[in-house]
Structure formats: structure tokens, C-alpha cells
């Protein structure tokens, strides 16, 4: 199964669902910051996420409880691969070089992370 890219609104809703766990539309809206979107808008996003195979639901009468069927880590991996492919010519080395140049990653911390990863393998 291939993962589809999400819009910003869809991704925002998915992050809330990943953090919250199984939820109804109303419960999720209660957790959103002001200004809260209309129920119909969030409900539409839930249906789109179901079509894109990110969510499924269980029906309890007329109430639907939605739950994620794609893990956050799985989507993170997909998003990172897209980022590397679209902005760094598919090169993780170019991404790391960019992060170092932009001072987003400290070289000594990077070396420590690499050493820790090597010892775990």
C-alpha cells in the first residue's frame, strides 16, 4: 500500500488523532485551539482521511469513533523521504550538510548520535 501526501489541514488533524487516539469528530474539535473549525469541516477531513486510508472507524449507533490505521512513524518516514527527494536530490548527505550549515545540527552532537547508532547495531 502506498501512502498519499496529506494537505496541511489533513496533517494537522492526523497529528491530533495520533496524539489523542481513537476519537469522535466532536471530541477532536474540543481539543483544538481557538478559533475552532466548524464540525462539518472536520467531519469532511475525517472522511477524506478515510478515503486516503489513514483512518477507519467503528460505529456506535449514529456516533463514529475514528482511529488511525497508519502509524505516525510510518508517515514521518514517508514525509522525510519526500523531503529528501524533493529538496535534496535524494541525498541524505545533502540534507545533513544543509542542517549543519544552517546550524540546526551541531557536528559534535551528530558524531555522538552516529557513535550511539553504531554501538546499537
Q: Summarize pLDDT for 2-59 with one digit per residue, the tens.
A: 899 999 999 999 999 999 999 999 999 999 999 999 999 999 999 999 999 999 999 9
The structural domains of the chain, with segments of one domain joined by +, span 8-68, 89-121
Q: Round to whole Å and give the CA distance between 102 and 110.
A: 14
pTM of the predicted structure, to 2 decimals:
0.82
Q: Summarize pLDDT for 59-87 with one digit per residue, the tens.
A: 999 999 999 999 999 999 999 999 999 99
Instruction: Tell me the C-alpha to C-alpha distance, in Å, between residue 83 and each of 5, 49, 107.
Output: 11, 21, 21
CATH number of 8-68: 1.10.10.10
Amino acid at each position: 500500500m502506498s501512502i498519499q501526501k496529506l494537505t496541511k489541514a489533513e496533517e494537522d488533524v492526523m497529528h491530533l488523532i495520533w496524539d489523542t487516539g481513537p476519537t469522535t469528530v466532536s471530541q477532536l474539535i474540543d481539543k483544538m485551539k481557538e478559533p475552532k473549525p466548524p464540525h462539518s469541516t472536520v467531519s469532511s477531513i475525517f472522511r477524506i482521511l478515510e478515503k486516503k486510508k489513514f483512518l477507519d472507524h467503528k460505529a456506535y449507533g449514529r456516533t463514529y469513533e475514528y482511529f488511525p490505521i497508519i502509524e505516525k512513524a510510518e508517515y514521518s518516514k514517508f514525509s522525510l523521504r519526500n523531503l529528501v527527494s524533493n529538496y535534496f536530490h535524494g541525498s541524505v548527505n545533502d540534507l545533513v550538510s544543509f542542517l549543519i550549515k544552517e546550524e540546526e545540527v551541531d557536528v559534535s552532537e551528530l558524531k555522538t548520535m552516529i557513535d550511539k547508532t553504531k554501538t546499537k547495531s
